[in-house]
Amino acid sequence: MDSVAPLPSSPRLIIDLDAVRTNYQLMAILSGTAKTGAAIKANAYGVGLERVAPVLARAGCASFFCAHLSEAMRARSVLGHEAEIFVLSGVSYGEAPLLRQKFLTPVLSTPEQIQLWREAGDGEPAALHIDTGMNRLGFDWHGFDPAMAEGLNLSLIMSHFACAADPDHAMNKIQLNRFSLIREAFPKVRASLANSAGILHGPETHFGLTRPGIALYGGAPLDTGGPALAPVARIEAPILQVRTLRKGENVGYAASFTAPRNMTIATVAIGYADGLPISASNHGFGRIDGHITPLIGRVSMDLSAFDVSLLPSTPEPGDMLSLLGKDLEALASASDTLSYELLTRLGPRFVRQYKGSSA
């Protein structure tokens, strides 16, 4: 555990690094004979790139995926020189020297990027991104000419599933077939298609390298859930005040909650500036001593109110309310968003504590 003394009135974010390692190990087992990489973009899905990346490396991960050059440079500084680090946004003018200097591998998505790396890459490896139907980033599979890649030192050819969270979606098979077709032109190059959800689709999507992301951080890969994962992130927010609400009184901005009966509510130091979304207003929940406590009224910037009327004992200022943890998916669902967004938008105001033998 880090030795930062949290200020009693501020929320803290507790990251379980052993849980990250456990989740990686599960993804590696489910990846079968394929190597298992890791997506650590967006500050390792919000939980802390500098702390997570070395844990993954010690667990056997050798290939890391970042969105931007800035993230990849942070990853290089904690991973040492042996790790393979991909930059999904590719390369643009001005970035090639830094990519080369830090031995970062651009994932090329356009003819311009290929041209640029051919000129400025000095023969260093590159990856090729084929878009097989997501229509986001990568060469359109339709009409792709493998001759375009001539002269590149290709270390990976990859694509990305659009609908992997729904294993029955017709797009999965279509994308797999398109990717397999393109791949025939690069028989000696390693291939990668599966994200966390794709890993669960079975061996034919695994190719040489899988790239789990959300599963490492405890989020469910499938719309319907998936295998049991260890919770990684938990918020502990202090109760600042406990108050009595008379029937008919309102709570919070725009008076969006009206007490249906006399109630006891707790005002907690957690708000949307910390990442508890406004969409959780009147729908979200936390826990006190394990007991569900419904969020009432509109989430404020720094504060939220919770109904503690039905708890076995009334909490006091200074007691802690928990959020996320094993409730990550349920809170995301109640807030009409995804666990991905809850994690990556955790705010900067937390005291962050890392725990586990890996910490």
Of the candidates 3, 4, 16, 43, the residue with the CA atom closest to the CA atom of residue 350: 4
As a residue count, the chain comes to: 359
Site string for a second copy, 172-211 (x = CB under 8 A): ----------------------------------------
The interface region with a second copy, picked from 25-33, 227-235, 287-295, 302-310 by CB under 8 A, is 302-310
Positions in 17-46 near a second copy (CB under 8 A)? 41-43, 45-46
Does residue 334 bind a second copy (CB under 8 A)?
no
Binder to a second copy among 34, 69, 114, 128 (CB under 8 A)? 69
**What minimum distance in Å lies between the beta carbon of 316 and a second copy?**
9
* Contacts of 294 by beta carbon, 8 Å cutoff, 6+ apart: 284, 285, 306, 307
DSSP assigned state of 328: H
**Is 355 one of the annotated active-site residues of the chain?**
no
Q: Is 326 a catalytic residue?
A: no
3-state secondary structure of 14: strand
Give the position of tokens 């109904």: 307
3-state secondary structure of 151: coil
* Piece of the chain touching a second copy by CB under 8 A; list 17-25, 104-112, 118-126, 286-294: 104-112
Does 165 interact with a second copy (rule: CB under 8 A)? yes
140 is a site residue for a second copy (CB under 8 A): yes
| Catalytic residue from among 41, 45, 217, 272 | 41
| Sites for a second copy among residues 46-65 (CB under 8 A) | 46
The CA dihedral of 171, 132, 336, 51, to the nearest 10 degrees, is 130
* Residue 135, C-beta contacts closer than 8 angstroms, at least 6 positions apart: none
**Smallest distance from the beta carbon of 218 to a second copy, in angstroms?**
16
Strand partners, 235: 13, 323
Catalytic annotation, residues: 41, 253
